[in-house]
């Protein structure tokens, strides 16, 4: 199969002039397309979808809109523009010139970082593959597919790095990225959250709000990397990631808005009455939030981590927005961490800052998560309802780090297992909650129509009206 790379794969890496790289990608591309057909959005491969495609990195080209069938989407390869004389911004090599090639000593570590990031991209497409069949509107269906094709592009971005810089092992890793599958018993995806099923749209919005935001912070850390091609790749990916979190934030906001409307319509805030009227009660929204937030927190890794210290020291993975710190070397500083004291309480442990880099990034993430929560609460307060959504404590329901396996209430209070078992149904979605949410999920595909449980968006995509036919089912 031969491809005209300039037309077929928009890129700014001179693909057309590098024969061996072209050959490697030509070999991989049909496997990607087979994967997309098998594990991408089920039932919509022939639909015409109003999608944004990046055709260059400048303001004009990165968001080109038009109707396209997803298998014909032009998955491009883009790196942000190179900064002249870029220097490594942190760690032991601080101030030295950034690397254009993989430094030999860090080859396997860098490859692992790229593979771990790359693995999440197709994983989320797999997790979301059946959601189209229960979409609440054509507008939402289109947003789902936009997220899916861009996660596909992010996979391309990582596969490009593997093929272009890691030779044979890179090509093998690129194959493995299509061989592991979300939730697969034998070959699961690398990170836990990416094996959780996303089988309803409330979970999808929670995922795009909380888990894509983890992606944002991982990309921000890698955008600081001393390995310049990785840094530039991740910088460009961040422009697309913003839309994914927008889908989550506005999705949850619209669910809440609809619930508030129904509260007024039936003049009740009784969860059962609301459910009967086809809306999702706010305590259920809180439980889903608790689940996806706590699951996403684990993605940042252990709070004390020699691995995190090493990748920071070696200039491979920095802190998000490294530029806002004064000290970029961090050999003197320490960090105070909360951990269980072994007697049912909490104690503080002081560790070298470099070993706490995961926690530094996690804290920045938590702060960012608060923005949407505040916005949702404002809409609840404005409607005059006495309910407030909260982010649970970072100790709640952790499976990684010093709180892993400990029973902790959402407010951060450690409790014993018996107390946990007695109350867990107040905090996390029960089977009955999930069944109820599922029962609401019926496909709505008339242009402009919304499912009973969600309010319409404030505006459409790219200045089009909300009732535009964003997906032509054909």
Strands (E), 202-255: none
Q: Quick one: angle between helices 306-313 and 107-127, nearest 10? A: 120
Taking contact as CB under 5 A, which single stretch among the options 101-109, 236-244, 267-275, 355-363 is the one that binds Fe ion?
A: 236-244
Q: Say how far apart CA 267 and CA 383 lie, in whole Å.
A: 12
Q: Which is nearer to Fe ion, 98 or 252 (CB)?
A: 252
Q: Which is nearer to Fe ion, 215 or 414 (CB)?
A: 215
Q: Which two tokens stand for residue 436?
A: 């109820």
Site for Fe ion in 43-102 (CB under 5 A): none
Taking contact as CB under 5 A, which single stretch among the options 43-51, 88-96, 243-251, 312-320 is the one that binds Fe ion?
A: 243-251
Listed in sequence order, the residues at least 6 apart from 467 whose beta carbon sits closer than 8 Å to its beta carbon are 447, 448, 460
Q: Please, what is the minimum distance in Å from the beta carbon of residue 238 to Fe ion?
A: 10
Q: Which is nearer to Fe ion, 215 or 429 (CB)?
A: 215
Query: Cα dist. 190→123, 209, 379 in Å?
Result: 9, 21, 37
Q: Which is nearer to Fe ion, 221 or 393 (CB)?
A: 221
Nearest to 182 by CA among 151, 158, 210, 156: 151
Nearest to 360 by CA among 305, 399, 292: 305
Q: Say how far apart CA 181 and CA 127 lie, in whole Å.
A: 9
Q: Say how far apart CA 343 and CA 359 lie, in whole Å.
A: 23
Query: Cα dist. 334→177, 323, 324, 472 in Å?
Result: 37, 19, 18, 56
Encoded one letter per residue, x for contact with Fe ion by CB under 5 A and - for no contact, window 117-156 reads ----x-----------------------------x--x--
Count of helix runs (H) and strand runs (E) in the chain:
14, 5
Q: Say how far apart CA 237 and CA 223 lie, in whole Å.
A: 9
Q: Which is nearer to Fe ion, 151 or 281 (CB)?
A: 151
Taking contact as CB under 5 A, which single stretch among the options 131-139, 240-248, 349-357, 429-437 is the one that binds Fe ion?
A: 240-248
Q: Please, what is the minimum distance in Å from the beta carbon of residue 219 to Fe ion?
A: 8
The torsion region of residue 406 among left (phi > 0), alpha (psi -120 to 50) and beta comes to beta
Helix or strand (DSSP H, E) at 292: helix 282-297
Q: Which is nearer to Fe ion, 232 or 244 (CB)?
A: 244
Q: Which is nearer to Fe ion, 244 or 275 (CB)?
A: 244
Site for Fe ion in 153-182 (CB under 5 A): 154
In the list 111, 180, 244, 317, the residue contacting Fe ion (rule: CB under 5 A) is 244
Work out the number of other CB atoms within 10 angstroms of the CB of residue 438: 12
Taking contact as CB under 5 A, which single stretch among the options 60-68, 128-136, 164-172, 234-242 is the one that binds Fe ion?
A: 234-242
Q: Please, what is the minimum distance in Å from the beta carbon of residue 268 to Fe ion?
A: 37
Mapping DSSP to helix (H, G, I), strand (E, B) and coil, where does residue 30 land?
A: helix
Query: What is the size of the binding site for Fe ion (CB under 5 A)?
Result: 7
Taking contact as CB under 5 A, which single stretch among the options 75-83, 136-144, 233-241, 272-280 is the one that binds Fe ion?
A: 233-241
Q: Please, what is the minimum distance in Å from the beta carbon of residue 131 to Fe ion?
A: 15
Q: Which is nearer to Fe ion, 124 or 286 (CB)?
A: 124
Q: Say how far apart CA 223 and CA 212 lie, in whole Å.
A: 16
Q: Say how far apart CA 178 and CA 32 lie, in whole Å.
A: 7
Q: Which two tokens stand for residue 390?
A: 């909260």
CB of 240 closer than 8 Å to CB of 147:
no
Q: Please, what is the minimum distance in Å from the beta carbon of residue 142 to Fe ion?
A: 16
Site for Fe ion in 184-223 (CB under 5 A): 212, 215
Q: Please, what is the minimum distance in Å from the beta carbon of residue 91 to Fe ion?
A: 25
Q: Please, what is the minimum distance in Å from the beta carbon of residue 241 to Fe ion?
A: 5
Taking contact as CB under 5 A, which single stretch among the options 18-26, 235-243, 311-319, 416-424 is the one that binds Fe ion?
A: 235-243
Q: Please, what is the minimum distance in Å from the beta carbon of residue 213 to Fe ion?
A: 9
Q: Which is nearer to Fe ion, 32 or 403 (CB)?
A: 32
Q: Residues interacting with Fe ion, by CB under 5 A?
A: 121, 151, 154, 212, 215, 241, 244
């Amino acid at each position: 199969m031969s491809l005209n790379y300039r037309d077929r794969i928009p890129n700014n890496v001179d693909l057309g002039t590098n024969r061996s790289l072209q050959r490697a990608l030509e070999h991989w591309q049909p496997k990607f397309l087979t994967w997309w057909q098998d594990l991408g959005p089920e039932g919509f491969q022939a639909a015409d979808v109003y999608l944004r495609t990046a055709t260059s990195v400048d303001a004009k080209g990165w968001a080109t809109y038009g109707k396209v069938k997803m298998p014909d989407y032009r998955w491009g390869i883009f790196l942000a523009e190179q900064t002249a004389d870029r220097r490594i911004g942190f760690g032991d090599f601080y101030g030295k010139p950034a690397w254009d090639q993989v430094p030999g000593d860090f080859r396997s570590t860098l490859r692992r970082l790229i593979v771990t990031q790359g693995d999440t991209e197709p994983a989320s497409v797999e997790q979301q593959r059946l959601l189209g069949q229960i979409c609440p509107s054509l507008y939402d269906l289109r947003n789902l597919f936009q997220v899916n094709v861009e996660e596909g592009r992010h996979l391309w971005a990582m596969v490009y790095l593997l093929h272009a810089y890691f030779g044979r092992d890179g090509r093998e890793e690129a194959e493995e990225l299509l061989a592991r599958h979300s939730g697969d018993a034998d070959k699961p995806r690398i990170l836990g959250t990416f094996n959780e099923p996303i089988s309803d749209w409330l979970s999808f919005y929670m995922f795009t709000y909380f888990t894509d935001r983890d992606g944002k912070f991982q990309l921000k850390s890698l955008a600081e990397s001393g390995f310049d091609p990785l840094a530039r790749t991740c910088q460009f990916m961040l422009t697309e990631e913003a839309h994914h979190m927008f889908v989550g934030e506005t999705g949850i906001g619209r669910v809440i808005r609809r619930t508030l409307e129904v509260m007024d319509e039936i003049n009740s805030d009784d969860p059962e009455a609301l459910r009967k009227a086809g809306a999702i009660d706010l305590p259920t929204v809180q439980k889903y939030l608790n689940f996806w937030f706590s699951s996403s927190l684990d993605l940042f890794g252990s709070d004390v981590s020699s691995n995190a210290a090493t990748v920071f020291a070696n200039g491979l993975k920095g802190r998000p927005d490294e530029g806002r710190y004064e000290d970029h070397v961090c050999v003197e500083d320490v960090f105070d961490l909360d951990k269980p004291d072994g007697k049912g309480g909490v104690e503080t442990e002081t560790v070298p800052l470099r070993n706490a880099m995961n926690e530094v990034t996690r804290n920045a993430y938590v702060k960012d998560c608060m923005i949407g929560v505040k916005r949702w609460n404002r809409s609840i307060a404005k409607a005059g309802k006495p309910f407030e959504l909260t982010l649970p404590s970072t100790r709640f329901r952790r499976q990684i780090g010093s709180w892993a396996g400990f029973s902790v209430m959402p407010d951060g209070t450690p409790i014993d297992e018996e107390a946990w078992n007695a109350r867990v149904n107040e905090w996390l979605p029960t089977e009955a909650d999930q069944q109820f949410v599922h029962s609401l999920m019926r496909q709505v595909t008339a242009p402009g129509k919304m499912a009973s449980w969600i309010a319409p968006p404030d505006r459409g995509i790219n200045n089009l009206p909300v009732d535009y036919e964003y997906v032509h089912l054909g």
